[in-house]
C-alpha cells in the first residue's frame, strides 16, 4: 500500500503543504500533517517534489 510519513527533524517551514497541497496540510503551532482519505498513489509526483524541497529530508514515502 502506498504510504507517506515524516521522520526526523521538521523545522516547520510549511513548504511541503505548498508543494503538495492535496497531500499535506500545515497546522499552525503543530506542523505538517498528511491529509486523511486521500489517494496517495495519485499524487506521487507532488510527493516526490515536496520531498525534494523539504530542507531536512524528513518526508518519507513508498509509492
Partner 1 sequence: MSIMSNAYMKMFPMEAEKKMPSGKRNSALEVPEFNKAWNLYRDTSLDIMKRYEYMAQCVDFTDKDTEAIKESKDIIAANLKAILDHIYYEKLINDPWLSRWFRDENGKIAKEYVDIRRARQQRFLLKVLECKWDEEFWNFVRWVGAVHVPIFGFEDLYIPVRLNLALWGYIHQYLFNLFARELKNDPEKLRRITTAWTKLFWIIIDIYHIDYFGIWM
Residues that bind ligand SF4 (CB under 6 A): 6, 10-16, 32, 54-56, 58-59
Element (H, E) at 6: strand 3-6
- The DSSP line for 6-21 is E-S------HHHHH-T
**Shortest Cβ distance from residue 18 to partner 1 (Å)?**
9
The secondary structure of residue 55, as a DSSP letter, is T
Residue among 7, 12, 38, 42 that touches partner 1 (CB under 8 A): 12
Rank residues 2 and 55 by Cβ distance to partner 1 and give the closer one. 55
Instruction: Kindly determine how many residues on this chain lie close enough to bind partner 1 according to the rule CB under 8 A.
Output: 8
Helix (H, G, I), strand (E, B) or coil at 56: coil
Amino acid at each position: 500500500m502506498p504510504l507517506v510519513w515524516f521522520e526526523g527533524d521538521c523545522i516547520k517551514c510549511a513548504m511541503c503543504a505548498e508543494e503538495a497541497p492535496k497531500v499535506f496540510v500545515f497546522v499552525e503551532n503543530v506542523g505538517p500533517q498528511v491529509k486523511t482519505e486521500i489517494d496517495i498513489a495519485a499524487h506521487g509526483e507532488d510527493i516526490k517534489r515536496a520531498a525534494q524541497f523539504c530542507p531536512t529530508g524528513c518526508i518519507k514515502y513508498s509509492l
